[in-house]
Structure 1
Amino acid sequence: MTLLRRWLGPAVSVVALAAVVYWMVHQPAPQLPDSAAGFSWLALSLGLSLGALALRGYRWHRVMVLADVDHKRTDALALTAVAYMGNNVLPARGGEVLKIAILGTRSASRKREILGSVVAERLLDAVVLAGMFIVLSFGLADSPTGPGTAALFGAVILAGFAALFVYLRLRRSGRFERFAATIRPVARGLRLFAHPSGLPLVGLSILIWVVEGLNLIVIVQSIGLSLSVLDGVLIIVLASLAAAIPAAPGFAGTYDWAMILGLKTAGITGGAASGILILSRFMYFVPATVVGLIVLVTRYGGLSAARRRLQGERRLPVHG
């Protein structure tokens, strides 16, 4: 299993990247911005990328407030950037481990409780992305994967909430006490799925992904093409769901394959699709990586301190 976890992501990325590269070399030269107007659209894209990053930091702050995790709002915002930087350059979503390790040295809460807030945020994103994919797939005539995939996502979500409902009813009757005591520090963050106070976080998550979809529309506009709001959001949702597949750092290959599939369904192919893929790679990943690196160096002790924290987390289980 250790070997599988270590090599599955790189293997998936190699296969997906090979397919993407094979496709790109058989396309015309990528279309890129070549005018002042085009670069102005990219400047707007940069603002949207940083805005979405800030919204994600605020969302993690609200998740930790709901989970009673001791923290400062500034750390939530700063460590969100550090985590995205880490996810883009470290294997196995190492950025999430890094932000748990750093906040664990600055918080009175146990690392299991911090881990619970991270798990809750990731599950929140997964549920919102799946829900948006279902709505947009049935709302658009040309869904990239068809209604069957959307129906499968819907069945998984319903099964998940049904299991949660059954578990909560059994807990109220006194069942699973030992199991509940074991996972309680981690599961505290998951209360947002069973409490009305979690609804604003769902709305905030939807807003984040709408901003990301608008960002793609702006990127497309930078090369003189247009994309509808529904298509832009659906493509980003699809690419983000594909990024959940185990892959090398930066979701290499999986994100790119889904982006090309979505653009093709929206009628953008050839050099235009290649150019948009290159630009989206740059605008979605580079700003967060640069900001995260700057924050890590100036606020949290730099790369050497981060490396020591990661080594410590790998030697020991996450604990209080």
Structure 2
Amino acid sequence: MSEAAEARRARPGRLAQSPWLWGLLGLAVSAVLMWLAMRNINFDVFFSTLEHADAAEMALAALLVAAPWAVLGLRWRVVARRMGPPGALRMASLVFLGAAVNNSLPGRLGDVARAVCLARDTRRSAAEALGTMVVDRIADIIFFTACLGLTYTVFPHQRWLVWVAAASVVAVVAMIAIVAAVVAYARRPHASRHRWGAVVTRALGRLSDGLTSLRSPRDVALVVLFTALAWGALSLGNLFGVRALGIHLSLVQAVFLTTVISLGTALPSLPGFVGTYHWVASTVLQGFGVPPTQAFAAAVVLHALGFLLTTLIGAPIMLREGITGSGLRSRARSVAAPGASALAAPQDPRGDADDGHPRVDVPDGDRPCAQHGVVADPEPRQDH
């Protein structure tokens, strides 16, 4: 097969190439779900509910809603340990950056932004960094699926939960199967006669390194601990957020609410999960007996807390790093395309490290991941 034909086969589909199509799909879903969430709202009661919110409980909720992102930075540092990640503060800042990207740009490119920055900070391949993001997401899905199984009995209307639970289980099984397939293929003795096959094998090898980053019981235990701490704090934040509006939930109900919101916002939507978040949250609260108007007010407050806090913290980091939507889409395509230089780990002139991968020691702290945007290949920068 000619190189031109291979390039055509490797080219993403038309839908994947056009952010406008994804944006229109998200707009349609968000508009429909927002209408469903607002159709029975009494706006006089809505504004009255917001006006009488308890300021102290709202402040506590804000603190608890912001805390999980810092904890997730600690978890990601454990997952990426083999890459020689930067310090905890830098990793937490990249988690906030990813949230700000998801809040402001279409396509949910926050994980791509985090992976690109980690690859540049560590001078390792973008594919390996992306593999650590997959591990991060698998940990979340497994945790929320377990929480759903433990708390679903508190919800009186459980019929539609069967579909949510089934989708979650299918997602977990599918992701684990894909990870196993990638690792198995990358680790098999393979010496392709064709350059395209060799590049794919090398790329999958880099991705496999990220996917198999957790190799010690201690690291697995830390990931479980940080996952529980992060989402437990968010559940408490949601608990105090709705309590500030006069809605009293039990802790188990708050965990259930957080779980269903986290799983439900996987639906396509506008940036910031507008519409999907509001419909899922208000639907769950109405299932607990909260009137529609108060339920929608609580959904607005909880969404605003998460959206505003992560955007206020992450947006300056995003601007400092020079993150743009076009640059991230270009990077995502380059990581997905066979032969892309983003998959190749930059070479350390001092040779290979003990784990068989080139690396250089990078001091902890804040370091811009993209001096001139994120489109350029992740080549090592020269120290001055």
The normalised TM-score by structure 2 is 0.70
Q: Which consecutive unaligned segments of at least 5 residues does structure 1 have?
A: none
**Counterpart position of 2:354:** none
Distance 1:290 1:159, change over 3 A: closer
1:1-320 map, 5 Å: 1-3=13-15, 6=19, 7-8=21-22, 10-29=24-43, 30=46, 31-35=48-52, 38-65=54-81, 67-138=82-153, 142-143=157-158, 145-147=160-162, 149-151=164-166, 153-154=168-169, 157=172, 175=188, 177=190, 181-191=202-212, 196=217, 197-297=219-319, 300-301=320-321, 305-307=322-324, 310=328, 313=331, 316-317=334-335, 318-319=342-343, 320=345
* Structure 2 SS opposite 1:215: helix
Cα distance change, pair 11–198 in 1 and its aligned pair in 2 (3 A):
same
- Please say which structure displays the higher CA radius of gyration: 2
Between Structure 1 and Structure 2, how many residues are aligned? 311
- Deviation, 1:84, is 0.6
Secondary structure, counterpart of 1:106 in structure 2: helix
**154-163 vs 114-123, which deviates more?**
154-163
CA gap of 1:52–1:244, structure 2 versus 1, over 3 A, is same
Ranges in structure 2 where 5+ consecutive residues have no aligned partner: 1-12, 192-199, 336-341, 346-384
Q: Is the 8 A contact 2:156 2:287 kept in 1?
A: no
CA pair 3-150 structure 1, distance change in 2 beyond 3 A? closer
> More deviation in 191-200 or 265-274?
191-200
Give the residue type in structure 2 aligned to 1:266. F
Q: CA RMSD in A?
A: 3.1
Checking the alignment, whether the CA contact within 8 Å between 2:65 and 2:238 is kept in structure 1 is no
Q: How has the CA–CA distance of structure 1 residues 160 and 33 changed in structure 2, closer, same or farther, with 3 Å as cutoff?
A: closer
Secondary structure of 1:115's counterpart equals: helix
Q: Aligned pair in 2 of structure 1 residues 64, 89: CA closer, same or farther (>3 Å)?
A: same
Shifted more, 2-11 versus 211-220: the winner is 2-11
| Residues 33-79 of structure 1: CA deviation (Å, up to 9, x unaligned) | 435x70111111111122111111111111111x4344333321111
Task: Percent identity, please.
Answer: 21
1:144 is displaced (CA, Å) by 7.1
Name whichever of 206-215 and 10-19 sits farther off: 10-19
Cα deviation 1:237-295 (Å, max 9, x = unaligned): 11111112232211222222211221111111222112101101110111010001233
